Amino acid sequence: MAHPSQLGFQDAAAPIMEELLHFHDHTLMIVFLISTLVLYMITTMMSTKLTNTNSMDAQEIEMIWTILPAIIMIVIALPSLRILYLMDEVNDPHLTIKSVGHQWYWSYEFTDYDTISFDSYMIPTQDLKPGQLRLLEVDNRMVVPLESTIRMLISAEDVLHSWAVPSLGVKTDAIPGRLNQTTFITTRPGIYYGQCSEICGANHSFMPIVIETTPVKTFETWSTMMMET
C-alpha cells in the first residue's frame, strides 16, 4: 500500500511491475538529461555576447535537433514495446478469475471451480478492526496462490469501472458488455490493495480491491472451505 508523503511507486510485488519500475527510472533519467541540456541552452542564450542570429541557418544544428530527438524516441520506445508485449502475453494460466464491477462493489467468480463466487464490499469505517485500513479493507478478499499465473477476466454490470492494483502493475478497464483480460504473478505472500480507477458514480471511492496471496497449500485449504460454505 502507499504511504503518506510517498513520491514514487509502490514496491513491486510482480515481475511486470518490476519491469515498469525499471522503465520509469530509465525514462526519468532521459527526461532529467534533456531538461538539464535545455536549461543550459536557455541560460547560455540569455547572454547577448553568445547570441548569433546566423546560427539558426546552420546545417549542423538542423541535423542535430532532427536526429537527436529521433534517437531519444527510439531509446524510449523499444523497452516500452517490450513491456507492452509482456503485459499482453498469457500462457497457460494456473487460475482464471472473473471480476465484475458494480455500483459500488466488486464480485468475483473462480471459473475453475463450480461454487466459488462472492461479492466484495468495503468495510465501513465504524466496523473496522484495529490495524485495518480505512477505505481499503473489504469483507471478502480475493485469495490467489503464490507464484502462479493468474488470468483476470474483467467486465462491468452497469457503468465503466477499472480494476487496478498498483503494486502488481495491473490496471484494466471494466466495460459493460465487454470482457477484458489481464494477467499477473505475485512473487511474495502478502495483502495487496487497489481501488476502482474510473470515476463511476457517487460511491466511486468506496469500492476497493484486496488481493491476498498465499502458498498453494493454504490456497487449497481456502478453496475447499469456500466450496463447503
Summarize pLDDT for 107-149 with one digit per residue, the tens. 999 998 888 999 999 999 999 999 889 999 999 999 999 999 9
Cell numbers at residue 188, please? Answer: 511474495
Strands laid side by side in the 150-156 sheet:
117-120, 105-110, 95-102, 150-156, 180-184
Q: How far apart are CA 182 and CA 86, in angstroms?
A: 11
* Amino acid making up residue 213: T
Cell numbers at residue 116, please? Answer: 466459488
Among 174, 167, 169, 184, CA closest to 207: 174
Segment 187-200 mean pLDDT: 93
| pLDDT tens, position by position, 4-35 | 777 888 888 899 999 999 999 999 999 999 99
Which stretch, 74-78, 87-91, 208-212, 224-228, has highest mean pLDDT? 208-212
Please provide the CATH number assigned to the domain covering 95-228: 2.60.40.420
Residues of the chain with CATH 2.60.40.420: 95-228
Give this prediction's pTM: 0.82
pLDDT reported for residue 228: 82
| pLDDT tens, position by position, 37-88 | 889 878 877 765 655 555 555 677 778 888 888 999 998 999 899 888 888 8
| pLDDT tens, position by position, 150-177 | 999 999 999 999 999 999 999 999 999 9
Q: What fold, for 15-88? A: Helix Hairpins (1.10.287)
Residues of the chain with CATH 1.10.287.90: 15-88
Among 160, 137, 155, CA closest to 206: 137
pLDDT reported for residue 212: 95
